[in-house]
Amino acid sequence: MKPPSVATVASLDMNLLRVLDTLMQERKVAPAAARLGLSQPAVSNALGRLRVALGDELLTRSAQGMQPTAYALAVHATLAPALAAIDGALKTKQTFSPASSVWSARLAMTDIGEIVFLPPLLQHLRSAAPGLTLSTVRDAPGGLNAAMAEGAVDLALGWLPDVPQGFYQRRLFTQRYVCLMRAGHPLAKGKLTLARFQSAEHVAIHAEGTGHAKANAKLQSLDKPASVQRKVAVQVPSFLSVPYLLASSDLIATVPERLALEACGPFGLVALAHPVAMPEFQVKLFWHRRVHQDAANQWLREWLAGAFTTS
């Protein structure tokens, strides 16, 4: 028999190679079949297919059992360690040490997310995972869903109603909206009624790609009758400048409660119950199935969930 072409060898069923490896070790069909969990005819049939595919007798019968040909010995010298390496790779779970690993993670989050999540996360990483470099992503090329599927984003945090149900997700906390203003604002004392709310000058935030669009839709529904329109003095594309604008003016803004908690102390602001029945929303942690079993990703998302999940 002549050795087969490379293409023929490349098309071999991996199960046939495992039969050859076991036969080379046992040198008898019966014990080889027992190890493989196959019948003796099935092993003999597999050997026949191997002989045709490889163009060699491979093993021949003798009084002392099956004896390998020189070609079989040469093939098995490479085959045995290759199969052992494959088995080891499949059985070995990924090991990860946050304290000693050098790695990077890309987190998709809004500007509010950076304010809420990053300070405590960075403080924890300073000692727990000093080799981790974080990057935050706001507008992922091609969209957030594609970026997570392709590995450009490792985790996403926030109110992201457009992330498909097929992604893994974990609820962190529920948020409501409040009305934010400086502590000395004329509306800071007493109950903030709808009439007082509508009489004030507002900062409007249009943060594209976030769930805040639903909050804006609710507020814009108040603007339709001309007699009760909000007085929008300035519109901004993110929440970052809002505390600065409120601290130095009599403007007010509708913001998530978590941002208000972070901003009140440093900027001398107060948060009041909102007079409008605003939608509550859930801030969640999202990840793609491609990183579901990744040890580093799992470690990071478990810490985030432990640090920020509230009932």
d(CA 186, CA 279): 26
Contact 189, 140 (CB under 8 A): no
Residues 181, 302 share a domain: no
Distance between CA atoms of 57 and 59, rounded to whole angstroms? 6
What does the DSSP assignment read for 250-283? Answer: SEEEEEEHHHHHHHHHHHTEEEEE-SS-PPPEEE
Tokens found for residue 202: 């507002």
Domain co-membership, 28 together with 56: yes
Structural domains of the chain, count: 3
pLDDT digits (tens, 9 = 90+) for 248-295: 999 999 999 999 999 999 999 999 999 988 888 899 999 998 889 888
| Structure-block tokens of residue 113 | 């997310």
Q: Are residues 189 and 266 in the same domain?
A: yes
Q: How many residues does the chain have?
A: 311
Q: Are residues 71 and 159 part of one domain?
A: no
**Tokens linked to 24:** 């080379």
User: Do 291 and 143 sit in the same domain of this protein?
Assistant: yes
Instruction: Please compute the mean of the pLDDT values over residues 132-150 and round it to a whole number.
Output: 84
Single residue among 58, 91, 124 that ends a domain in this structure = 91
Of 29, 63, 91, which marks where a domain is finished? 91
Domain-embedded: residue 221 = yes
Residue 97 placed within a domain: no
Do both 84 and 122 map to the same domain?
no
The answer on 289 and 146 residing in a single domain is yes
Do the domain assignments include residue 109?
yes
Task: Give residue for tokens 């706001």.
Answer: 138
The answer to whether position 32 is within a domain reads: yes
Residue 98 belongs to some domain of the structure: no
CA nearest to 175, candidates 102, 256, 93 = 256
Q: Does residue 223 sit within a domain?
A: yes
pLDDT-wise least confident of 135-149, 151-165, 168-182, 217-231: 217-231
Strand 155-158's sheet: what is its strand order?
132-137, 103-108, 155-158, 281-287, 168-175
CB 284 within 8 A of CB 171: yes
pLDDT at 7: 36
**What is the distance between the alpha carbons of residues 310 and 74, in angstroms, rounded to a whole number?**
62
Structural domain contains residue 290: yes
Q: Would you call 67 helix, strand, or coil by DSSP?
A: strand
Q: Which amino acid is at 290?
A: R
Question: Which residues span the domain enclosing 135?
Answer: 103-174+282-308
Of 71, 91, 111, which residue is a domain's last?
Answer: 91
Q: What is the pLDDT of residues 51-97, one digit of tens each?
A: 988 889 999 988 888 898 999 899 888 888 888 887 776 665 567 89
- What is the reported pTM? 0.66
Same domain, 287 and 145: yes
CA distances from 171 to 87, 100, 304 (A): 37, 29, 11
Q: Are residues 166 and 295 in the same domain?
A: yes
**At 152, which CATH number?**
3.40.190.10
In degrees to the nearest 10, what's the CA dihedral of 284, 289, 290, 292? 70
Name 127's Cβ contacts closer than 8 Å, sequence gap at least 6.
none
16: domain CATH number is: 1.10.10.10
What's the mean pLDDT when you consider all of the chain? 86
